[in-house]
Amino acid sequence: MRHSYDVTAESSAPPATVWALLLDTTTWPTWSRVDEARAEGSLRTFRTGKVVTEERVTTLDPERRFAYEGIVNPHLTDYRAAVDLVGLPGGGTRIRWHGTYGTRWWMRWFLPPYLRRFMLTMAIGLAEHAARLSKIS
């Protein structure tokens, strides 16, 4: 069974600031629930609690789209996601984080609402941190 999430957040920061944070995995623990993150080329590894996830970046359309697919996750199968950035009239950025995935049978009841909430906190954290950085600059 396929599941999906689709969340949005808005930031007063320009797309360039949001984009820079997305690309720099060293910032992720600052603005997200990720405890540890690292990148090697197109591969990214994240640890949240005891769960380690590996992903491969599939699309980099500067300041517009950051897409990736899951390689290793103990709870998800066939995971594909994207972060789309849209500049807002008068400044700022709309962040749309969306994805599709399958789940292990024992996670079907739990994972869809959990992952939607988790990804919403990611989008909001990114939006708020980018806004703070753009005020400092």
Domain CATH number, residue 7? 3.30.530.20
- Residue 45: Cβ-neighbour burial (10 angstroms; 0-12, 13-18, 19+): middle
Average pLDDT over residues 5-26: 97
Average pLDDT over residues 83-105: 95
Cα distance between residue 130 and residue 13, in whole Å: 6
Q: How confident is residue 109, by pLDDT bands cut at 50, 70 and 90?
A: confident
Average pLDDT over residues 85-111: 92
Q: Please count the structural domains in the chain.
A: 1
What pTM was computed for the model? 0.94
Nearest to 32 by CA among 56, 49, 12, 14: 49
More confident residue, 75 or 47: 47
For residue 136, pLDDT over 80 is answered with: no
Cα distance between residue 61 and residue 130, in whole Å: 19
Q: What is the pLDDT of residue 118?
A: 96
Domain extent, residue 95, equals: 2-136
Q: What is the pLDDT of residue 23?
A: 95
Rg (CA), the chain: 15
More confident residue, 91 or 105: 91
For residue 106, pLDDT over 80 is answered with: no
More confident residue, 128 or 136: 128
Q: What is the pLDDT of residue 137?
A: 63
Neighbours of 130 (CB within 10 A): 29
Average pLDDT over residues 20-37: 96
